[in-house]
């Protein structure tokens, strides 16, 4: 069986918003303005940005990603959390219970999130067909070795399977910088589960 090679996609800090919060931050009836498409079908970076205000500091120009979601969410790298003074857990996107909140400032208003700040867990998006081809399923954990002078092993990488997903390995800027990675670099996925090793071995 062919090796599973995945392209790297490094994500900087960003925000997902509900429709209600978009209107609260940018005005009644406001709709997000697409700046560019992202690697996952239907998802896009927006022209709109917000300022994040935490207990110890602020970060301006934080990009909003669309489309609107059912629950607002802020994804940070660990480095960002020190400046803001927040202590978010490492979580999968959408798993927001018990996470800290933060204040967002837009051009027309402010929103105080009671919860929703996370450090996104590293993960690989793939389609059901790709997952089946390599004997993987949603929620599996794999390892991704990184070659080079700053190489190492990225462990506990979650597999996320969905019909609208495109193959992509999502890391944050701290992880990308630590391993000297750039967007688009292709890495080989190895196994964390013995049964997966047998399937591809």
Q: Running along the chain, 201 residues long, what does each successive block of 10 average in pLDDT?
A: 89 98 98 97 98 98 98 98 98 96 98 98 97 93 95 95 97 97 96 52 46
Domain annotation covers residue 57: yes
Domain end, chosen from 120, 155, 186, is at 120
pLDDT of residue 194: 46
Give the number of domains in the chain: 2
Same domain, yes or no: 136 and 44: no
32 assigned to some structural domain? yes
Alpha-helical runs (H) found in the chain: 19-26, 78-84, 128-133, 173-178, 194-200
Predicted local distance difference test score (pLDDT) of residue 198: 47
The residue out of 120, 155, 189 marking a domain boundary is: 120
Quick one: pLDDT at residue 201? 46
Q: Which of 102, 120, 138 finishes a domain?
A: 120
For residue 55, count CB atoms less than 10 angstroms from its CB and return exposed for 0-12, middle for 13-18, buried for 19 or more.
exposed
The verdict on 69 and 141 lying in the same domain is no
pLDDT at 192: 58
Containing structural domain, residue 107: 13-120
Can you give the pLDDT at residue 154? Answer: 95
Q: Quick one: tokens of 84?
A: 């803001």
């Amino acid at each position: 069986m062919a090796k599973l090679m995945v392209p790297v996609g490094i994500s900087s800090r960003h925000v997902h918003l509900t429709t209600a919060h978009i209107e609260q931050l940018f005005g009644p009836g406001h709709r997000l303005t697409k700046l560019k498409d992202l690697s996952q079908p239907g998802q896009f970076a927006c022209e709109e940005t917000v300022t994040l205000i935490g207990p110890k500091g602020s970060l301006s120009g934080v990009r909003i990603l669309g489309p609107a979601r059912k629950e607002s969410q802020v994804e940070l790298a660990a480095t960002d959390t020190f400046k803001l003074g927040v202590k978010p857990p490492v979580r999968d996107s959408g798993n927001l219970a018990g996470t800290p909140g933060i204040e967002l400032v837009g051009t027309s208003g402010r929103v105080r999130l009671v919860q929703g700040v996370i450090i996104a867990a590293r993960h690989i998006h793939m389609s059901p067909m790709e997952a089946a081809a390599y004997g993987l399923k949603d929620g599996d954990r794999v390892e991704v070795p990184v070659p080079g002078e700053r190489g190492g092993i990225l462990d506990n990488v979650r597999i996320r399977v969905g019909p609208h997903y495109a193959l992509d390995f999502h890391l944050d800027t701290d992880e990308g910088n630590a391993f000297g990675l750039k967007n688009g670099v292709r890495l080989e996925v190895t196994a964390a589960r013995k049964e997966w090793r047998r399937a591809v071995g």
